[in-house]
Amino acid sequence: MSSVSSPLAVWEKCDEYHNSFLLDADPAMDAALKNSEAQGLPDIAVSPAQGKFLNLLVKTTGSKRVLEVGTLGGYSTIWLARAIPEGGLVTTLELDPHHAKVATENISNAGVADKVDLIVGPAAESIKKLGPNSSYDFAFIDADKEGNLLYFQEAKRLVKSGGTIIVDNVCRAGRVADLEYSDVLVDGVRTLLMGIEGDKEVEATTISTVGEKGYDGFLYAIRK
Ligand code: SAH
Ligand code: DHB
Ligand code: MG
C-alpha cells in the first residue's frame, strides 16, 4: 500500500474488503441509498458495515422494541427493523417531512413497513409523548446533535433496565476532543458527555469507528 494513501482511502478500502466477505448483496439497501440520493438527501446515513453492526447488536440483545431518533431516508431504520422479530416495532423520529416521505418509500420497498412507526416532527416533542416508561429495549440516537442530551435522557426513561442506548457521531474526526474547536455538532456531543459523567443510571463507553464514512464513533450505554 502506498504510504501517501489518505486515511479515508485506506479505511474505505478496508470496509470494502471486509464487506465483500461479510455483507450479502442487498438490492433493497442499495435501492434505499439510490432513492435517497436521487431525492436530494444528504449522504450521512450509517455505513453498510455500521448498519449491519446495529442489526447484530439488536439481535444479540434480543431487542423487540427499538427507538430511533433521526430517520433520514430510513437506511439505519431498515437495518434495525430487519433485526427484530415479528410483532416487534421500530419507532423512528424525523423532523423533515421530505426525509420522512423518502424514508416511507424506502422502508416500504424493503418490506419492513409493518415493523416501523415513523413519527414526523421535532424529536424533542415526539419523544416526550412516547411511553410508557421502560417500554423499549434499544435506542439509536442519530439526529441533530444539539438535542443529544435531551434524547439520551428521554431514551433512559423509555429503555428498560438492561437495555441499550447507542449515540452516533460522537468523535467527529477527533474534533469533539479538540477544545480549541467548537460548533453546534461537537458542542452537542460534549454536552452529552458532561451529562453522562457521574450518571449512576447508565454504564457507557465510546468506541471510535473508521471506514467509508471517515473517523467517528458510537457511544454505547447500558441502562442500569
Ligand atoms: N439514522 C439515519 C441518519 C440520520 S441523519 C441513518 O443512519 O440512516 C439525521 C436526521 O435527523 C436527518 O434526517 C435530520 O432531518 C433529522 N433531524 C434533525 N433535527 C431533528 C429534530 N430536531 N428532530 C428529529 N429529527 C431531526
Ligand atoms: C452528520 C450527521 C450524522 O448523523 C452523521 O452520521 C454524519 C454527519 C452531520 O450533520 O453532519
Ligand atoms: Mg449519524
The amino acid that residue 16 corresponds to is E
Q: Which of 36, 41, 44, 189 for mutating ligand 2's site (highest number of atoms within 8 Å of CB)?
A: 44
User: Which pTM was predicted?
Assistant: 0.98
Q: If you average pLDDT over every residue of the chain, what do you get?
A: 97
Measured distance between the N- and C-terminal CA atoms of the chain, rounded to whole angstroms: 45
Q: What is the CA radius of gyration of the chain?
A: 17
Ligand 1 interacting residues, C-beta cut-off 6 A: 44-46, 70-72, 75-76, 93-96, 99, 122-123, 142-144, 147
- pLDDT at residue number 9: 94
Q: Tell me, what's the pLDDT at 51?
A: 98
If pLDDT is split at 50, 70 and 90, which confidence band does 42 have?
very high
pLDDT at 1 over 80: no
Indicate the pLDDT class of residue 3, thresholds 50, 70 and 90.
low
Q: Do residues 148 and 167 lie in contact, with contact meaning Cβ atoms separated by under 8 Å? A: yes
- The model's confidence at residue 33, banded by pLDDT at 50, 70 and 90, is very high
Mean pLDDT within 141-154: 98
pLDDT at 39: 98
Q: What letters, b where the CB count within 10 A reaches 16 and e where it falls short, cover 17-26?
A: eebeeeeeeb
Q: How confident is the model at residue 148 (pLDDT cuts 50, 70, 90)?
A: very high
**Is residue 88 classed exposed, middle or buried when 0-12, 13-18 and 19+ CB atoms within 10 A define those classes?**
middle
Q: Render pLDDT for 66-103 as a digit per residue (tens, 0 to 9).
A: 999 999 999 999 999 999 999 999 999 999 999 999 99
pLDDT tops 70 at residue 199: yes
The full length of the chain comes to: 224
**Nearest in space to 80 (alpha carbons), one of 154, 161, 164, 139:** 139
CA of 169 relative to ligand 3 center, distance in Å: 5
Pocket flag, ligand 2, residue 44 (CB < 6 Å): yes
Mean of pLDDT values over 58-70: 99
Name the more confident of 2 and 175: 175
Report the nearest-CA residue for atom 2 of ligand 2: 44
Nearest ligand, measured from the Cα of 168: 3
Band (pLDDT 50/70/90 cuts) for residue 5 is confident
Residue 110 alpha carbon to ligand 1 centre in Å: 20
State the Cα–Cα distance between residues 3 and 15, nearest whole angstrom: 19
pLDDT over 80 (residue 211): yes
Q: Residues within 5 Å of ion ligand 3 by Cβ? A: 142, 168-169
Helix, strand and coil in the chain, % to nearest 5: 45, 25, 30
CA 108 to mean position of chain CA atoms: 19
The residue whose CA has the least distance to atom 11 of ligand 2 is: 44
Residue 4's pLDDT band (cuts 50, 70, 90): low
